[in-house]
């Protein structure tokens, strides 16, 4: 089944993860919930490999990768100040290796499998604030950029679309694909919150800015209209869908008011657009800062299965 996940995704960092706004164990809970419902078998889940330095250098500058060896740099990106007191060997094993598996190995593998099978879900990834030369906002590696570069180099892909529906602007991939007409960026985000990257906005092909407090009905109505026009303007060979759940009502960082049912409908809308047009789609789970996010993601994946947009039992 083209569902990509590893237990390594879940970061346990001497208890510090419990103090961080990012829920570093949500990925495992998503799979557990689907397994408990009997919709996904653990033996069918695809295990990604760890990205090598050579893989990372496809996108990242040597200077940036070298900077991650300085603990205070990693601490700044991850927004965990105590990390600065720990040696690099611990940072590497507890944080960087899990991210290399999740956001690089997982997303690149999901892109390959989606091209072969029509769809894939990396139960992780979508760390869209990192670009080739810097990280930020909990994002260490640029997995979306790497996924697309891999597709261009190895999968006979010449045109890709990013549909970024995380609550935050995806300024990392926007910087990486500045003025690259092979990549169409659709970004619908809360304009009132981080990262407020006005320079990166110039490279969004379809920019849909919404305000804090936007509710479910207006969110979905706007999404359908804007997606329809985006697909009329650009016909991709691959769609990378950044499906953040920080749009949920009550999320402290996203500040939008979309219901759990609205998230399910959002994901269904995007998958329907892709599947009806025979466009391979990669889903990444991205941001989401409440304990309830894992359950919403699992319910949404289950809904996609029930609507026959994906098949968790075999090849669809």
pLDDT band at 250 (very low <50, low <70, confident <90, very high): very high
pLDDT level of residue 22 (50, 70, 90 thresholds): low
Q: Which helix (H) or strand (E) holds 240?
A: strand 238-242
Overall size of the chain counted in residues: 316
Give residue 18's pLDDT.
58
Share of the chain above pLDDT 70, in %: 93
Q: Which residues of 43-76 are buried (b: 16+ CB within 10 A; e: fewer)?
A: eebbebebbeeebbebbbeeebeebbeebebbbb
Q: What is the pLDDT of residue 316?
A: 45
6 three-class SS: coil
Q: Which two tokens stand for residue 304?
A: 């996609």
Contact assessment for residue 256 and residue 212, using Cβ atoms and an 8 Å cutoff: yes
Name the CA dihedral angle for 222, 235, 133, 147, rounded to a multiple of 10 degrees.
Answer: 110
* CB 283 within 8 Å of CB 114: no
Report the chain's C-alpha Rg in angstroms.
Answer: 18
Across the chain, what does the average pLDDT equal? Answer: 92
d(CA 108, CA 104): 6
pLDDT, tens only, 50-106: 999 999 999 999 999 999 988 778 777 876 655 556 677 777 887 888 889 987 789
Residue 37 has pLDDT above 60, yes or no: yes
- In tens, the pLDDT along 83-98 reads 556 677 777 887 888 8
3-4 and 238-242 strand pairing: unpaired
Give the tens place of pLDDT for each residue, 209-224. Answer: 999 999 999 999 999 9
Cβ–Cβ under 8 Å, residues 126 and 187: no
Q: Which CATH superfamily is domain 3-66+101-307 in?
A: Histone deacetylase domain (3.40.800.20)
Identify the CA nearest to 194 among candidates 263, 252, 265: 252
Tokens of residue 209, six digits: 């800015």
Structure tokens at 59: 């996108």
Percent of the chain with pLDDT over 90: 79
Both tokens of 80, joined, read 């965990």
pLDDT at 83: 53
Q: pTM of the entire structure?
A: 0.95
Residue 25 pLDDT = 83
6's CB contacts (< 8 A; 6+ apart) are 47, 48, 101, 102, 106
Position 43 scores a pLDDT of: 94
Dihedral pair phi/psi, residue 272, rounded to 5°: -65, -45
Name the active-site residue from 20, 60, 128, 129: 129
| C-beta neighbour count of 178 within 10 angstroms | 14
> Cα dihedral sign for 126, 208, 132, 136?
negative
* Per-domain boundaries in the chain: 3-66+101-307
Does the annotation mark 129 as catalytic? yes
If 0-12 CB within 10 Å is exposed, 13-18 middle and 19+ buried, where does residue 117 land? middle
Tokens of 280: 């391979």
Distance CA 184, CA 159 (A): 8
Condensed to tens digits (0 to 9), the pLDDT of residues 265-297 reads 999 999 999 999 999 999 999 999 998 999 999
pLDDT at 102: 85
Between 20-34, 144-158, 199-213, 235-249, the lowest mean confidence (pLDDT) is in 20-34
Sign of dihedral through CA atoms 188, 194, 196, 200? negative
Q: What pLDDT does 72 receive?
A: 73
Vertex 204 angle, CA 203 and 210, to 5°: 140
The stretch 116-122 carries a mean pLDDT of 97
What is the mean predicted confidence (pLDDT) over 221-237? 97
Q: Give the residue, 263 or 315, on which the prediction is more confident.
A: 263
| Residue 198 pLDDT exceeds 50 | yes
On whether the CB atoms of residues 295 and 36 are closer than 8 A, the answer is no
Pairing of strands 238-242, 281-284: parallel
Tell me: pLDDT of 314 over 90: no
């Amino acid at each position: 089944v083209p569902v990509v996940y590893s237990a390594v995704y879940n970061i346990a960092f001497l208890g510090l993860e419990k103090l961080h706004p990012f829920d570093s164990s949500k990925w495992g809970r998503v799979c557990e919930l689907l397994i408990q419902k009997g919709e996904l078998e653990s033996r069918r889940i695809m295990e990604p490999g760890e990205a090598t330095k050579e893989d990372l250098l496809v996108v990242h500058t040597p200077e940036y990768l070298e900077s991650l060896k300085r603990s205070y740099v990693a601490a700044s990106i991850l927004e965990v100040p105590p990390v600065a007191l720990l040696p690099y060997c611990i940072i590497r094993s507890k944080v960087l290796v899990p991210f290399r598996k999740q956001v690089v190995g997982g997303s690149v593998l999901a892109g390959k499998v989606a091209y072969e099978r029509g769809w894939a879900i990396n139960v992780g990834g979508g760390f869209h604030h990192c670009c080739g030369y810097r990280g930020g906002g909990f994002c260490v590696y640029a997995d979306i950029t790497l996924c697309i570069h891999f597709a261009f180099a190895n999968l006979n892909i010449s045109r890709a679309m990013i549909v970024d529906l995380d609550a935050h602007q995806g300024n990392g991939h926007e910087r990486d694909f500045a003025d690259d007409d092979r990549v169409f960026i659709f970004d619908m985000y809360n304009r009132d919150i981080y990262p407020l990257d006005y320079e990166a906005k110039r490279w969004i092909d379809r920019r849909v800015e919404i305000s804090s407090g936007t509710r479910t009905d207006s969110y979905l109505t706007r999404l359908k209209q804007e997606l329809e026009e985006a697909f009329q303007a650009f016909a991709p060979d691959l769609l990378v869908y950044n499906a953040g759940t920080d749009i949920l009502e009550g999320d402290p960082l996203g500040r939008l008011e979309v219901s759990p049912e609205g998230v399910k409908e959002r994901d269904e809308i995007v998958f329907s657009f892709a599947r009806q047009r025979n466009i391979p789609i990669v889903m990444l789970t991205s941001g989401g800062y409440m304990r309830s996010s894992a359950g919403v993601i699992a319910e949404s994946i289950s809904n996609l299965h029930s609507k026959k947009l994906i098949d968790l039992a075999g090849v669809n």
